[in-house]
Amino acid sequence: MRTQVGIVGAGPAGLVLARLLQRAGIDTVILERRSRSYVESRVRAGVLEHGTAQLLDQLGVGQRMRREGMVHRGIELRFGGESHRIDLEALTGKTITVYGQQEVVKDLIAARLADDLPLHFEAEVTAVDGTVLEYEQNGVRHRLECDFVAGCDGSHGVARLAVPDGALRTAEREHPYAWLGILARSPAAAEELVYAYHERGFALHSMRTPDIIRLYLQVPRDTDLGDWPDTRIWDELRTRLDLPLKEGEILERGITGMRSFAVEPMRHDRLFLAGDAAHIVPPTGAKGMNLAIADVRVLAEALTAHYRERTDELLDSYSRTCLKRVWQVQRFSNWMTTMLHRHEGDDEFGHRVQLAELEYVTGSTAAATTLAENYVGLPR
């Protein structure tokens, strides 16, 4: 089998890339190691930047997002027993859309299959050999020959591993805490997202629909879910968020580590890395999916220029272009994380400086704007 661009991974990066290339008349094959139902039910973040939501519209996959997604014009920050609103729309003229990542993935998969374009599930890429992808499906081995390979296979993928030792520089930081996240059938307890800094630790109130909420608690990194029965989770959430939460059935629960990671360059020869395959940000700024989609927009433009205009300038600047945004987003995610979490071993001084930072961010229009313009998404 042959194609122009072989895409490893059917997450937001791989699926959006394929859709962008389809518009440019470029052939792609997507290989995804998991089943369709697995990728469609994997619960992840749910905040779309202004530009991400606009792109999904432009790609013709935004109808359900516009119907079921929730446009939010602000977020709340809670600390010191008070709540402060950051008016995203007043500060930036832009809004965010709350819509689960797996819903975005479902819409993109449905569109791809409706257009009868190749998307293979349970097709695990076992080796990336230059521009040849070796993969296994139903116990049968296959080869896919490509002009280019897009490694959109997430943080545990194979594409990055195919780059020879020494060709990639890595920058990373492990954060000393994790998030315990739940998805619950409960009515939203606030109209907007609530980020809380509490002396017992960070907490977040988010939502998926008016009746399904997504909540997170900062916990130590080695936390065992078994130590967190439902009542303990709800009590802790109520204490930290200070919201009138109604206990509903917990539909999903998990612990997510907090990691910052980026490789450079995001290209090796004809292999291009995009999304989580190239970088991870801690979830505090809700940037993971948005950043993945920003990468593939750059990649799609570069591949389009290659095929249409026979020029490789944009392919050559792909990594440099992406990394500028990657590091702005690393900075923002790291800042939000540090500002909103309790740091073990921190003394009274550290705590007071953190509170002062939060007072400043919510009290100064200049400071609130820096948060807001990053939160709704920096311009391309």
Q: State the residues that interact with ligand APR by CB under 6 A.
A: 8-14, 31-34, 39, 44-45, 101, 124-125, 152-154, 157-158, 275-276, 288-289, 292
Residue 24, token pair as written in the block: 């440019």
Residue 375 annotated to the active site: yes
Which residue's CB is nearer to ligand APR, number 123 or number 190?
123
Strand pairing class (140-151; 2-8): parallel
Binding site partner of 286, from ligand APR, ligand PHB, none, Cβ cut-off 5-8 A by kind:
ligand PHB
In whole angstroms, how large is the CA radius of gyration of the chain? 21
Residue of minimal Cβ distance to ligand PHB: 206
Minimum CB separation from ligand PHB for residue 42, in Å? 12
Residue 318 annotated to the active site: no
Which residue's CB is nearer to ligand PHB, number 120 or number 253?
253
Instruction: Give me the catalytic one of 99, 177, 195, 197.
Output: 195
Binding site partner of 51, from ligand PHB, ligand APR, none, Cβ cut-off 5-8 A by kind:
none
Residue 147, token pair as written in the block: 């002009």
Residue 320, token pair as written in the block: 């440099």
Which stretch, 32-40, 240-248, 281-289, 302-310, contacts ligand PHB (CB under 6 A)? 281-289
What is the per-residue burial (b if ≥16 Cβ within 10 Å, else e) of 16-40? bbbbbbbeeebbbbbbbbbebeebe
Among 278, 286, 291, 358, binds ligand PHB (CB under 6 A): 286
Any contact of residue 102 with ligand PHB (CB under 6 A)? no
Helix count (H) and strand count (E) of the chain?
A: 11, 19
Binding site partner of 214, from ligand PHB, ligand APR, none, Cβ cut-off 5-8 A by kind:
ligand PHB
* Contact residues for 324 (Cβ-Cβ < 8 A; gap 6+): none
Which stretch, 240-248, 266-274, 284-292, 296-304, contacts ligand PHB (CB under 6 A)? 284-292
Rounded CA separation 368/365 (Å): 5
Cβ(148)–Cβ(6) below 8 Å: yes
Which residue's CB is nearer to ligand PHB, number 70 or number 355?
70
Cβ(302)–Cβ(245) below 8 Å: no
Residue 216 annotated to the active site: no
Instruction: Give me the catalytic one of 287, 306, 318, 341.
Output: 287
Among 9, 11, 12, 46, binds ligand PHB (CB under 6 A): 46
DSSP annotation of 283: G
Rounded CA separation 9/123 (Å): 9
Residue 195 annotated to the active site: yes
Q: Strand pairing partners for 279?
A: 262
Which residue's CB is nearer to ligand PHB, number 6 or number 74?
74
Residue 324 annotated to the active site: no
* Contact residues for 309 (Cβ-Cβ < 8 A; gap 6+): none
CA–CA distance from 97 to each of 141, 207, 224 (Å)?
A: 41, 11, 32
Q: Which residues bind ligand PHB (CB under 6 A)?
A: 45-47, 193, 204, 206, 214, 283-286
Give the residue numbers annotated as catalytic, written as ranges: 72, 195, 283, 287, 375
